[in-house]
C-alpha cells in the first residue's frame, strides 16, 4: 500500500485499520472507512499494470515496451465515476 493512501486516510480521519479485498484476481482494493464527513479512501493496485491508464485504449507496442504492459482488469474511468457518484460534494 502506498504512503499516499495512508496520508489521505490520516487527513480524512479514517479508521486506522484498512479493509483489503480482491475484486478481480489481479486487482487489490484497500479501503479506509469510518472517515470524517462520510469520506472514504480507496486504493486499487493492479498487478502487472505498467504506467498507463487502466482499461484505457490499447497502445502500440512501442509505447508498452517503454511504459510496461497494459491491463483491462479494471477501468479507471468506471471506478472513478462510481467513487465520485457515491461521494457527492454537499
Beta bridge partners of 17: none
Phi, psi at 10, each rounded to 5°: -65, -45
Extract the C-alpha cell encoding 35: 472517515
Q: What is the pTM of this model?
A: 0.83
Extract the C-alpha cell encoding 70: 497494459
pLDDT digits (tens, 9 = 90+) for 39-82: 999 999 998 888 888 888 988 888 888 888 888 889 999 999 99
pLDDT at 1: 61
The residue range of the domain holding 41 is 3-86
- Residue 42 CB contacts under 8 Å (≥ 6 apart), including other chains: 29, 30, 31, 32, 83
- The count of domains in the chain is 1
Phi, psi at 28, each rounded to 5°: -115, 130
- Residue 59 CB contacts under 8 Å (≥ 6 apart), including other chains: 52, 67, 70
Q: Are 68 and 50 in contact (CB under 8 A)?
A: yes
pLDDT digits (tens, 9 = 90+) for 8-28: 999 999 998 999 999 989 999
Amino acid at each position: 500500500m502506498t504512503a499516499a493512501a495512508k496520508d489521505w486516510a490520516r487527513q480524512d480521519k479514517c479508521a486506522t485499520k484498512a479493509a483489503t479485498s480482491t475484486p478481480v484476481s489481479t486487482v487489490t482494493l484497500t479501503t479506509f472507512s469510518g472517515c470524517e464527513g462520510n469520506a472514504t479512501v480507496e486504493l486499487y493496485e493492479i498487478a502487472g499494470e505498467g504506467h498507463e491508464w487502466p482499461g484505457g485504449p490499447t497502445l502500440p507496442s512501442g509505447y508498452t515496451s517503454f511504459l510496461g504492459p497494459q491491463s483491462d482488469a479494471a477501468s479507471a474511468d468506471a471506478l472513478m465515476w462510481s467513487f465520485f457518484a457515491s461521494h457527492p460534494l454537499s
